Structure 1
Amino acid sequence: MTQQRDGDNSDQLGIDLAALGRQLRVLRRRQGRTVQALSAESGVSFGLISQLERGLGNPSFSALHRLAKCLSVPLSLLLAGEQDAAVVRRNERGQLPIAVEEPAEQQVVRELLTPRSSALLQFIRSTLPVGFTNQNRPYRHLGTECVTVEAGRLLVVHNDTEVELEPGDSMTYGCSTPHWWANAHDNVTIVLGAVTPFEA
């Protein structure tokens, strides 16, 4: 009985290591990094990274933490391996915090349409109240974003580019460039936005 349990644990370890290795390889390649570059930047040996990507090795927590930090992803994402399909029901959507101390026109309702555990992609439905603008506090963060207006009109200012989007219009841009939104409608504006942590 004990031998069978040990065997099961060993099999699961192999499966988990293989999933970790595939996840590491996907994240590294998406960022256009070689194993050698990742090794140099993270301080984790070339040999260990190479082993991990082949589903081998016995990485320390410290090594995994350094790899995740270098790749700018949560350690939990690296350990999660390949993700199964996930369903978020309408009544189960997460909601990002609302700045209740702000005036009513600045209180944007942001519903998370992807699972909270997803770090490679966030899909957010934002409801902008009449008069909303964050011109004085532009967004700036790592990643690429695509927004589509579901209802109303959205003014997007990205560096020196100023675009007004109407229902059905979309815009994609790099998020490391300062950008801001404004509700350009006399009613609420609803925006669907997909964000990844990678620059286009």
Structure 2
Amino acid sequence: MAHGPEGQQDDGAGDVPVGERLRALRRARRRTLRAVADAAGISEGYLSQVERGMANPSIATLQQIAGALGLKMGDLFAADYTTGPRVLKAAAAPSLTFGVLGRKFRLTPGPQHHLEAFLGEFAPGGSTGDQPYTHGDSEEFLHVLEGEVELHLGGEMFALGAGDSIRHSSAVPHKLVETGGDGARVLWVISPPSY
């Protein structure tokens, strides 16, 4: 059970109005009212009213706002929207299979933080996929924990081994390929969140 900023217990998403959550998520993503309102197809004044609890948006409008923030509707109701210390036990880290022979574990709980961190595991010959991809215009940091990988970044390739790291823009098409034949583990840190 999490505790709020004043030591109060936070038993779930229902304790905080959606407008307050929206404001916290928007600010964490460093987005202005105008930028989010424009992307959501609503007025800046209306979004301000929603954030201050003076207007009650429809589900469709909430979906538009969430999309403008790069979120899913369910993210607006996640219990862990606040800032502050959060512990995520390794066994509870959400994971997904992606690319070719790869798995990704989210290490940062909640969508509201100023950064995202992921642990990637690749079987021999694994990759993030056949095609390079982009996501947002964030700063992305990659650190190789174990094994050998090759980062295809724009028109360049970078061979990286355990202990090596690289920083780049997530707007540049990129893909990662395990090249050592023994599997690899990598750490990605993305700021602001865009994945």
TM-based fold match above 0.5: yes
Alpha-carbon distance in 2 for matches of 1:126, 1:134: 9
Q: Give the drift of 1:65.
A: 1.8
**Which whole-Å deviations, capped at 9, do the CAs of 1:122-177 have from their partners, x for residues lacking one?**
43222222233467422333353321111122211100232222222222223332
The answer as to 2:109 corresponding to 1:137 is no
- The answer (yes or no) to whether the contact 2:153–2:173 under 8 Å persists in 1 is yes
Deviations 1:17-48, CA, capped at 9 Å, x for gaps: 56235325415x613x4x34443442323322
User: Could you list the runs of 5+ residues in structure 1 that have no partner in the other structure?
Assistant: 1-11, 100-105
**Per residue, is there more strand in 1 or in 2?**
2
TM-score, normalised by the number of residues in structure 1: 0.69
Distance in 1 (CA, whole Å) between partners of 2:155 and 2:62 is 40
What TM-score results when the alignment is normalised by the length of structure 2? 0.70
Q: Distance in 2 between matches of 1:84 and 1:176?
A: 29
Shift of the 163–113 alpha-carbon distance from structure 1 to 2, 3 Å rule, reads same
User: What is aligned with 2:5?
Assistant: none
SS of the aligned residue for 1:52 comes to helix
**CA RMSD between the two structures:** 3.3
1:193 aligns with 2:194: no
* Structure showing the higher helix proportion among its residues: 1
Task: Count matched residues.
Answer: 178
Structure 2: where are the runs of 5+ without partners? 1-12
Alignment partner of 1:151 out of 132, 146, 150 = 146
Distance 1:71 1:135, change over 3 A: closer
- In structure 2, give the amino acid aligned to 1:69: G
Deviation string 1:74-124 (CA, Å, 9 cap, x unpaired) is 12333444256432222333331367xxxxxx4123333334x54755432
1:110 to 99, 104, 114: 104
Aligned to 1:19: 20
The structure having more radius of gyration, on CA atoms, is: 1
